């Protein structure tokens, strides 16, 4: 099981001071590239960044810098919009994860509705694959959505683990974990590769480790929070330590 570190919240902290700037100034702090280098030193296997349509954290310039100088494979999260698709096809990240996006949400709150994704979603998947980019769809562990994802042309799905992470007690957590397990098993049987992410932290990782056949966990908020106390490199190492044995 690999670890992809989402560094959106590093950019969130930077934009709290420099949000009016379209171009990231060299002195803007914290530095996304330095964060990426610390993530690499910590042993992570990849970087994840979400270029949102409203540019609330990651900026266009960040994507280019991470792709060219980040030192790790780049997973670009994006909505299936013509504007962001055009950028992705130019940057050519290693992987793209297509996610739902609403301007009013603080972070991505749910899975993609592949059943109703329509022509633009399929067009995005096809265009990205033609450029040699691996494509993942960020979806809830809903069996109908997984079947739809298998027909979309995407190689991967990333299962939204938010419902599991937000379960109020052990019984609720076990229920959601079983739901995730059924989703993984169906996806594998359909020829899909499976990642997971959203709300995974240093406590609930012990549960997530039990899921079979996951390739990558994409984790951001929890690692960046720990980094405020212990530093980013150690925070990444600590998470990898808790992933061992999966």
| Distance (Å) of CA 5 to CA 20, 64, 220, 236 | 26, 17, 5, 8
CA–CA gap between residue 74 and residue 106 (Å, rounded)? 23
Residue with tokens 């130019």: 90
Reply yes or no on whether 57 is catalytic.
no
Q: What is the CATH number of domain 2-243?
A: 3.20.20.70
Q: Looking at 9, 57, 160, 198, which residue is catalytic?
A: 198
Neighbours of 143 (CB within 10 A): 12
Q: pTM to 2 decimals?
A: 0.93
Residue 98 φ/ψ, nearest 5 degrees? -85, 125
Each of the 246 residues of the chain gets a pLDDT tens digit; together they read: 999 999 999 999 999 988 765 678 888 899 999 999 999 999 999 999 999 999 999 999 999 999 999 999 999 999 999 999 999 999 999 999 999 976 555 555 678 999 988 788 999 999 999 999 999 999 999 999 999 999 999 999 999 999 999 999 999 999 999 999 999 999 999 999 999 999 999 999 999 999 999 999 999 999 999 999 999 999 999 999 999 876
**Would you call 50 a catalytic residue per the annotation?**
yes
> Any catalytic annotation for residue 160?
no
Judge contact between 217 and 201, C-beta under 8 A: no
Instruction: List the chain domain ranges.
Output: 2-243
| Annotated active-site residue in 77, 95, 101, 176 | 77
Q: What is the DSSP letter of 154?
A: -
The catalytic residue among 50, 95, 101, 158 is 50
Phi, psi of 136 (to 5 degrees): -125, 145
């Amino acid at each position: 099981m690999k670890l992809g570190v989402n560094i959106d919240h590093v950019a969130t902290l930077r934009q709290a001071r420099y949000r009016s700037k379209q171009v990231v100034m060299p002195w803007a702090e914290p530095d996304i590239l330095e964060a990426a280098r610390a993530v690499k030193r910590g042993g992570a296997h990849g970087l994840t960044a979400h270029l949102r349509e409203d540019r609330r954290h990651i900026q266009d310039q960040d994507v280019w810098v991470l792709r060219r100088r980040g030192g790790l494979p780049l997973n670009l999260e994006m909505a299936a919009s013509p504007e962001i698709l055009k950028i992705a096809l130019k940057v050519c990240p290693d992987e793209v994860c297509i996610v739902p996006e609403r301007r009013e949400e603080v972070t991505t709150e749910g899975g993609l509705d592949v059943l109703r994704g329509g022509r633009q979603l399929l067009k995005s998947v096809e265009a990205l694959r033609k450029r040699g980019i691996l494509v993942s769809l960020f979806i809830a562990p809903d069996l109908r959505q997984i079947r739809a994802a298998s027909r979309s042309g995407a190689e991967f799905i990333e299962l939204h683990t938010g419902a599991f992470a937000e379960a109020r007690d052990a019984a609720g957590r076990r229920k959601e974990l079983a739901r995730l397990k059924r989703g993984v098993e169906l996806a594998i049987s359909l020829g899909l590769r499976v990642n997971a992410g959203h709300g995974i932290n240093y406590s609930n990782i012990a549960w997530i480790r039990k899921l079979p056949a996951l390739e990558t966990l994409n984790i951001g908020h929890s690692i960046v929070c720990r980094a405020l106390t212990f530093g980013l490199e150690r925070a990444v190492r600590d998470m990898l330590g808790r992933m061992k044995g999966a």
